A and B are shown apart, each in its own frame.
Chain A
């Protein structure tokens, strides 16, 4: 009786063991992968290594310079052995992770016949008009003409000349070391016309450590796809002044050519408005000596805020807004002058605030009050106003006055108000800034995604990231090969794609389900299921070990 019973129990025990093992196997082979697969957050693969590679990107900004020698500019035997190209490379020291190198690639050649002809003319202006005929040069490239030492093209005391187009003239020399000396002069001129440390530092102001550049007030406007420019006429005293301004004509005549020249940098839209009873936030002080009122330099920061609430909403625009205010002071406070830090009145009677815009005070001619009753009709002299606003616009875009090498003749600016090489310089600065922004955005996105594991990465977000990375690399390549225009386009694309990926709303979808809540939901199912399986596995393990040890003892 006992033997078959024991055998039956043994059978039962073995069956139970098998069942337990089978359960465990099903859970491990089927259950866990199923659970894992169904609750997984979708994360498309991202080019993490390439993104971290962007941080140590080396930017080589290539400036192709064509150096053209005319006859008698250098000794003949030097002309015979003109090398084909010479590269002059220089690292721009910035405390920034991107290493920026500036590379001037000089291609030497002899002057062609028509160039000889043009450069033998009497004055530089005539020569320039001769050169203006052939097709435009590519963005970012420069041509430097070396003329003979005694040429009358330039005034005798001038060594070089910088033109409004991408063209410069350097005086040659008859000397044994002529080649080196001229090479040095050419580099000096080319640096003045292209990249300088200041321009790049200002462009990267947001990315540089605080100490060096935050004190510099001249922060240019951030790079963007477009800009809105608003001209506002503030008339705080409509009872005394009936102010008229021909803003449409002025914009057409003065602002639009400038913006057309800047077309490559972004889209511009211009609008204007007249605001009545809009006062400055500061009470001007009376100066009894000149019986005029003045705004001290230290009170200027307080002027803007109260006015800004009247200006209209900048929230309606995607693009940064630049405000230009023309303020006609009240009768009680006229004439009004702006004083600089030393207490002297500012000649233009205007000031600007970086990344915001400019304010100009327009005093009504006191003769207008004589004889006529209020309100006095005031017609604004738009030439005077637009001169100031255009200068401020240049400053706001970071187009600073160039630092000229010594003994350099500098042509006045063209009718557009901006020179071609200034535009190139702006494009360089904007490209570098865009690349820095895109790199920062991509890096922080990669960091964020690495840190929070339940962010969904959809395919379109991933493709934007890929596109941005590719655009950054392409922009860097184009910069290195000296194609400025396409580099700028690529850098803009990099910024757009990276921002679109970073601000994609789908990244936020699953952030509402933190891990602790997920486990709170899983525990009622997982705990009662896992405990019996684990316990029986543990028991089986113990028994097997015992049965393995027993035969050893018998031995």
Chain B
């Protein structure tokens, strides 16, 4: 856990001293923005960000006490409107004005991807960091499926996506903007048309690539007043080609292998697709205690050779107390696949520890990859306060690389589950066996055995004798 500190500190420091140059920020400032990105597949991604800052009397301690750092993860939760409602409550304008009117639960949860987050952190108010403000950032990303909801048409509008349009800015917001990603389409206006035409465009380096955005400022009277509401529309003039989406420099996969219910193997594949640059990755893994990891089986191979991590921190699990924590700094060679695998044994749980549906399996949390990924285009040093929000959560560090944090998929591992009616069956069976043994034993001990004189016989014998007599054979 201690090693997780440098990176989170890194983020804090990047936004810390130097961010606030000259003046005090206003109290309770709110900035909100929506980024719409048409994807090459024809789908559309929409990302909301709301940032609230307020002053606080709390003073920042000198340094960070690592014993207070906590990392917790809930591998899977079925997300529904119950998650959205309290999230929306944190917004100053609730869902009454500004961009938040678009947050309509029944549309947001019918999308093919949904991601919702709350970040809270202290931010320095001046260069000396004598006093701090608190920053609450709420982000929500959804990807609208083009074909399924659009009945084959790939044109998009705000109304079609959210069944609402933008009517007024939130009066509390100091900034309220909509960005539409027009990077690949701006050169020739033939492919894509954005309506209404943007008043301004914005160019910046985001995650290492150059991007161009059409900007709509809701606080600018002209944007809304023309038609009393802003309904952004995207029209494809030519259907988007089947070009492959650009490959990110870093991505990862994770899976469980092995058979049976005794042993297994956790494997993580880390892809570095950069043609000539290697870069290090910090891999953080928490594994529940009921998967007993064999640390000596930890192997890291890239390009067929063993790859020795330059740093390993391992904290073993304690049953029912804490999970395994494994943190490694791995160098990824250029254009390579690195496989990190570790074997485990499945533990037996106590019968009350099983979930209501134990045969479904148990979720294992995703691993977290933090890396400084080389950028395609060098970023200019900018004032973070001036640049849009989507650019400042994970800012570029230096000009040649940018920070990325990736989460792999959560895993579903089945544990050996007992037959829960077994105790009753066992009790019944043993009781019956004991009772049978006991019965014959008891009979042996208590009964008296004596030779019985053959009697005249029962009904069967008489019947047999009748037949014998009829046949003329002497009776028995």
Residues of A within 8 A of B (CB): 9, 12-13, 15-17, 19-20, 23, 238-239, 276-278, 310, 312-313, 375, 521, 524-525, 527-529, 532-533, 536
Contact = CB atoms under 8 A, between A and B. Distances in A.
Interface of B: 86, 89, 92-94, 96-97, 168, 171-172, 424, 427-428, 431-432, 434-436, 438-439, 442-443, 445-450
B435 A524 contact: yes
Contact of A528 (B86, B89, B97, B436): B436
Contacts of B96: 276-277
A16 B171 contact: no
A528 B435 contact: yes
Contacts of B439: 528, 532
B448 A9 contact: yes
B445 A19 contact: yes
A529 B438 contact: yes
A313 B90 CA distance: 12
B428 A524 contact: yes
Identify the interface centre among A9, A12, A276, A310: most chain B CB within 10 Å of its CB.
Answer: A276
B94 A310 contact: yes
In this complex, which of A9, A17, A277 has the most chain B Cβ atoms within 10 angstroms of its Cβ?
A277
B447 A16 contact: yes
A532 B448 CA distance: 15
Contacts of A529: 435, 438
Nearest to A277: B96
Nearest to B434: A525
B7 to A, nearest CB: 31
B89 A536 contact: no
21 contacts: A12-B448, A12-B449, A15-B448, A16-B446, A16-B448, A23-B442, A238-B93, A238-B171, A239-B168, A239-B171, A276-B92, A276-B94, A276-B172, A277-B96, A521-B427, A521-B428, A524-B435, A528-B436, A528-B439, A529-B435, A533-B442
B469 to A, nearest CB: 35
B446 A23 contact: yes
A203 to B, nearest CB: 36
Listed from nearest, the 6 A-B pairs whose CB atoms lie closest are: A528-B435, A525-B431, A524-B431, A277-B96, A12-B448, A19-B445
A239 B172 CA distance: 8
A536 B97 contact: no
A238 B431 CA distance: 76
Contacts of A20: 445-446
A201 B431 CA distance: 61
A19 B441 CA distance: 11
A13 B171 contact: no
A312 B85 CA distance: 11
Nearest to B92: A276
Contact of A310 (B89, B432, B434): B89
Contact of B446 (A9, A19, A313): A19
A309 B443 CA distance: 75
B450 A9 contact: yes
Contacts of B436: 528
B93 A532 contact: no
Nearest to B449: A12
B97 A277 contact: yes
A375 B446 contact: no
Contacts of A278: 94
A276 B97 CA distance: 10
Contacts of B424: 521
A276 B93 contact: yes
A521 B425 CA distance: 9
Contacts of A528: 432, 435-436, 438-439
A536 B448 CA distance: 12
Nearest to B432: A524
Nearest to A527: B435
Given A9-B450, A276-B94, A525-B431, A532 B443 contact: yes
A222 B106 CA distance: 41
Given A20-B446, A312-B89, 12 more contacts: A12-B448, A16-B448, A23-B442, A238-B171, A238-B172, A276-B92, A276-B93, A521-B424, A521-B428, A524-B427, A528-B439, A532-B442
A13 B446 CA distance: 8
A16 B89 contact: no
A525 B446 contact: no
A17 B447 CA distance: 8
Contacts of B448: 9, 12-13, 15-16
Most A CB within 10 A of own CB, among B92, B446, B449: B446
Nearest to B90: A312
Contacts of B86: 313
Contacts of B432: 524, 528
Contact of A277 (B94, B435, B442, B445): B94
Which of B92, B171, B439 has its CB near the most chain A CB atoms (within 10 A)?
B171
Contacts of A13: 448
A524 B438 CA distance: 12
B52 to A, nearest CB: 12
Contacts of A12: 448-450
Contacts of B89: 310, 312
A239 B169 CA distance: 10
B136 to A, nearest CB: 14
Nearest to B445: A19
B435 A16 contact: no
A204 B92 CA distance: 42
A277 B173 CA distance: 14
Nearest to A528: B435
A386 to B, nearest CB: 22
Given A239-B171, A277-B97, A536 B434 contact: no
Contacts of B427: 521, 524
Nearest to B429: A524
Contacts of B450: 9, 12
A140 B36 CA distance: 69
A521 B448 CA distance: 33
A16 B93 contact: no
A349 B331 CA distance: 69
A9 B449 CA distance: 8
Contacts of A17: 446
Contacts of B168: 239
Nearest to A311: B89
A162 to B, nearest CB: 42
A106 B434 CA distance: 80
Q: Considering residues B445, B448, B449, which has the most beta carbons from chain A within 10 angstroms of its beta carbon? A: B448
B224 to A, nearest CB: 14
B472 to A, nearest CB: 39
A383 B184 CA distance: 61
Nearest to B451: A5
Given A276-B94, A524-B435, A528-B436, A375 B171 contact: yes
Nearest to A523: B431
Contacts of A521: 424, 427-428, 431
A146 to B, nearest CB: 54
Residue of A17, A524, A532 with most partner-chain B CB within 10 A: A524
A405 to B, nearest CB: 50
Nearest to A14: B448
Nearest to A525: B431
Contacts of B435: 524-525, 527-529
B378 to A, nearest CB: 42
A402 B417 CA distance: 68
Nearest to A517: B424
A71 to B, nearest CB: 58
A1 to B, nearest CB: 12
A415 to B, nearest CB: 26
A238 B93 CA distance: 9
A524 B439 CA distance: 12
A16 B449 CA distance: 10
Nearest to A536: B446
A375 B432 CA distance: 85
Contact of A16 (B94, B97, B445): B445
A551 to B, nearest CB: 24
Nearest to A18: B446
Contacts of B431: 521, 524-525
